[in-house]
Amino acid sequence: MIRYWTAGESHGKGHIALLDSLPAGLTVDKAYIDSELRRRQGGYGRGGRQKIETDEVEVLTGVWHDVTIGSPIVLWVKNRDYKINDMPDLTAPRPGHGDLAGMVKYHTGIRPILERASARGTTAVVAAGALAKLLLAEFDICTVAYVVSIGELSLEKKKVANDGLVASPCEANDTAKKIIEWRNKSEFYSLCPDRDAEAKRLVDQCRENGGTLGGIVEVRVDGVPFGLGTHAQWDLKLDGRLAQAAMAVQSVKGVEIGAGFQSARQFGQDVHDPIMFDADQWNTRSFGFSRTSNNAGGIEAGMTNSEPIIIRAALKPIATLQAALPSVDWKTMQPTTASYERSDVCAVPAASVVLEAVVALEIATVLTEKFGSDSVEEMKAFYRSFGKIAKQRFFRK
């Protein structure tokens, strides 16, 4: 199974991602990884740090002639804004950050906590996720994330523009690759680029007021086969693993799969997805099975059911506020306002890139668990064998 770790501080020398058990034989496209790093730096509402950094990856180990060799891979992204040893500590912990809990836990100041907790560390996650997406592409699996709301402003794709919103061209049966084309037209990485102007006004007003904005991101995975994940053990269920991966991203405070919380407000007959069969499609990835809806979000009992995986994450507003909240000076224990350091106003578009990466990493991991991880060629052979056995079982005479 694929495992990965990251290391680095916000204003340290840089960030590292270490990946273990990525199969041999995968071509490492550095230009693609760098393009994902640039996407993470983009999106309307970012702060001044993005004008300093120009993130590029350096592959230090695990490749030969730009092809993976099965040994651990180290990815390195250098920080231009390297000044950690020159930066002072903060005296007033910031509400919403890990400042207070971390300094009490580790018996340190605030600086050592915020440097590692910073979302700057997601550079390494995005680089690792890009490698995972390259592996998934070998199996025609595509992961795409897009923003569906900024604050209370809905950027939801709609089939009918009956409320003044512009209808999105992306319907439920569009492939993720087609959705990417539309997502890339929006400065907010949404599927409604015609609403960018309204979203910009919202972010600009928030900036003037010294505040920040959160939002909701949806991640979709197309092309997944049956049976990734398992029902057999609680910690191996795919929906639980995806939820953990998403919740670990900075600012995420809620995760749902498929219809999620909405399903709790409906009757069972309106929630569960009817199963249909088309014998003419027996030779496809779904073996002819299909659903009339996808409220399960592509996962039932911890396993993929060949429908697109749909996962949503709710992100709180960034906790670093120019209009600082009340706090306590930990040296004097007197009331004060929270410390402030340079920050974004809205990082939801950037967070969508990170969420896309962590979901891709989890899907790549369960793919290797089922089909092996020694080499891409062997994985493809096992993948074909799985399909052959399933077809023989369902269509034997």
Residue range 222-255, pLDDT digits in tens: 999 999 999 999 999 999 999 999 999 999 999 9
Q: Quick one: pLDDT band at residue 68, thresholds 50, 70, 90? A: very high
Rounded CA gap, 173 and 166, in Å? Answer: 19
**pLDDT tens column, 157-175:** 754 334 433 344 444 455 7
Give yes or no for a contact between 176 and 222, defined as CB atoms under 8 angstroms apart. yes
CATH label of the domain that carries residue 27: 3.60.150.10
Q: What is the pLDDT of residue 48?
A: 61
**pLDDT tens column, 105-159:** 999 999 999 999 999 999 999 999 999 999 999 999 999 999 999 999 999 875 4
Residues of the domain holding 322: 3-395
- In the chain, the number of structural domains is 1
Give the length of the chain: 397
Of residues 339 and 35, the one with the higher pLDDT is: 35
List the one residue out of 265, 280, 282, 253 whose CA is nearest residue 388.
Answer: 282
Q: What is the pLDDT of residue 102?
A: 97
Q: What is the pLDDT of residue 163?
A: 40
Of residues 178 and 66, the one with the higher pLDDT is: 66
Rounded CA gap, 230 and 237, in Å? Answer: 5
Q: What is the pLDDT of residue 109?
A: 94
CA distances from 155 to 65, 166, 188, 194, 196 (A): 43, 10, 9, 10, 9
Mean pLDDT estimate for the chain: 91
| Span of 56-70, 285-299, 329-343 with lowest mean pLDDT | 329-343
**pLDDT, average across residues 1-21:** 96
Give yes or no for a contact between 24 and 375, defined as CB atoms under 8 angstroms apart. yes
**pLDDT, average across residues 30-57:** 86
